[in-house]
Amino acid sequence: MMREKRVRIGNQTALSAKRLTEPFEYAVENGFDAFEWFLAPHGMDDGWEEAGLAPEERREVGRTAAENDIKLSVHVPWWLDPFEPEGYEHLARSLEFAMDMGARNLNMHLSSERGIEAFEKTLSPVLRRLAGLPIRLSIENIPSSTPEEFNELFTRFADAGIDVGGLVGMCLDLGHANLSPLTTNDYLGFIDRLAPHVPIVHLHLHENYGDDDTHIPLFSGPSERDPSGIKGFVDRMKRRGFSGCGILEMWPDPPSLLNQARDRLLRMFNSTGGAL
């Protein structure tokens, strides 16, 4: 599957919105070119169950997204454990949800409690199924993740002959990197410890002060006073040749903070100088 060379910025569903579709409608109305549907049962963080959108509604979302040049991603439930039968079955439902609306990325959290080798092996059937589909799996760092876990994981994927970067890649969550026990308040250090063979294909973008996963909009937290960290992040993504979707993981009040973050971030990505 051919991949476009472009940085897109979008937003995500949120339980704090008035309606399930409100953030997506906002993305359409405000010219965002990416959007992510975050799945999880009601009452369990910012997410929705697959049944929240019937198959025909999903297809309508896909048509609207295509008409407005919006690339869709689906985030499986954050609590999903691929080692458990229930979790594995839910992963299959999330994939069906993504395919119904024409999403091109399926995102899941890293589960390293049983070891990276075990996680890589349990994903093998999923990756075999994805091999014939126009969708890629991205694996996200959680607050307890370390860069070395991703270095090992993608070494194992490559050794297993998996299309690294094409079939599976990393979702770099900037806020989670800032909470990593090895790089607290130093998300740039987290990125610098990622080996070159780790393909970053998707981004989750939010801020915190290193004490909690607070999902502050970009340029509204620590970078409001000093944006050099975000510039350093953008510079690193450019050097890695990043192309893909960056998802602003919040539904702020007012939502226009999303527009401000997108516009400033894109200026940084498109700048050839040192614009902040």
With cut-offs at 50, 70 and 90, classify the pLDDT of residue 149. very high
Q: What domains, with CATH codes, occur in the chain?
A: 7-270 (3.20.20.150)
Judge whether 205 and 176 are in contact, CB under 8 Å: no
Task: Output the six-digit token pair for 167.
Answer: 């079939």
Give per-residue pLDDT as tens, 96-140.
999 999 999 999 999 999 999 999 999 988 898 899 899 999 999
Rounded Cα–Cα distance for residues 42 and 58 (Å): 19
How many angstroms separate the Cα of 221 from the Cα of each of 32, 215, 218, 229, 230? 22, 9, 7, 11, 11
DSSP state of 14: -
Strands 105-109 and 34-38: unpaired
The per-residue pLDDT for 276 is: 61
SS3 for 105?
strand
Counting DSSP H helices and E strands in the chain, the numbers are 9, 8
With cut-offs at 50, 70 and 90, classify the pLDDT of residue 42. very low
The per-residue pLDDT for 51 is: 80
**Average pLDDT for 167-185:** 97
**Average pLDDT for 23-34:** 98
**Average pLDDT for 32-44:** 80
Q: How does the average pLDDT of the chain come out, rounded?
A: 92
With cut-offs at 50, 70 and 90, classify the pLDDT of residue 27. very high
Residue 43: pLDDT over 70: no
**Average pLDDT for 192-204:** 98
With cut-offs at 50, 70 and 90, classify the pLDDT of residue 239. very high
Q: Which amino acid is at 221?
A: G
The per-residue pLDDT for 1 is: 52
Residue 153: pLDDT over 80: yes
First to last CA, the chain: 35
Task: Output the six-digit token pair for 220.
Answer: 């509204």
Burial classification of residue 260, based on how many CB atoms lie within 10 Å of its CB (0-12 exposed, 13-18 middle, 19 or more buried): middle
